Amino acid sequence: MAEALFYALGLTALYGAGNVIARRHALVAAVHLALTLFALSGVYLLLGFPLLAGLNLLVYAGAILVLFLFVLLLLDVQRDEPLPLDLRGKLGPAAAFLVGIEALALAFASGEGPAEEGFRETTERAGEVLFGKYLFPFEVSGLLLLLGIVAVLVLARRGERRAPPPAAGPGEASEPARMAEVRP
């Protein structure tokens, strides 16, 4: 039963993934990514990783995808991609690569027996790792968060907070001109 569910969820995830890369409209693709993520959370749960499943659902499906949709709507791009036209050139190598990876993965099957049953990771054990061995990375990821904030501040904040610095004399004035000049 659980096995069947695993395969069902896995196929769902793959179905979603396929649609992410194959659907013409970005919004549709995003929705399909959500489908994939949900399915994957189910897989994690099935495999015995409830914490990961939950976080995946919360952070990924909850936060990240919402952000995506938000941006999609914000930018409001109406035009669809000219997808089929472009697929022709790129499908070949992609397919080849895909087949390669698939073959590689299937190769794992050759030597391995079936996985043990009844494995279940508890939140406690995850916590032990996270705050024990992984304490340092955990702290470092705090820095990453800080970096993310700074990044968004720099890149997305509109408007000037301050007047241009006095040092910028003639260079400032010629800024647009210079932009145009920087060409390969």
Taking CA atoms, 123 is separated from 7, 60, 63, 120, in Å, by 25, 19, 21, 10
Contact 61, 33 (CB under 8 A): no
Count interface residues toward other proteins (CB under 8 A).
Answer: 115
- Residue whose tokens read 């791009």: 77
Site for other proteins in 21-80 (CB under 8 A): 21, 26, 29-30, 33, 36-37, 40, 43-44, 46-49, 51-52, 55-56, 59-60, 63-64, 67-68, 71-72, 74-75, 77
Q: Please report how close the Cβ of residue 56 comes to other proteins at its closest, in angstroms.
A: 6
- Residue whose tokens read 């109406």: 78
Q: At what angle do helices 26-47 and 2-22 cross, to 10 degrees?
A: 160
Answer yes or no whether residue 84 interacts with other proteins by CB under 8 A: no
Distance (Å, whole) CA 15 – CA 13: 5
Contact code string over 109-148 relative to other proteins, x by CB under 8 A: x-xxxxxxxxx-x---xx-xxxxxxxxxx--xx-xxxxxx
Site for other proteins in 163-182 (CB under 8 A): 164-165, 167-168, 170-172, 174-175, 178-179, 181-182
Q: Please report how close the Cβ of residue 104 comes to other proteins at its closest, in angstroms.
A: 6
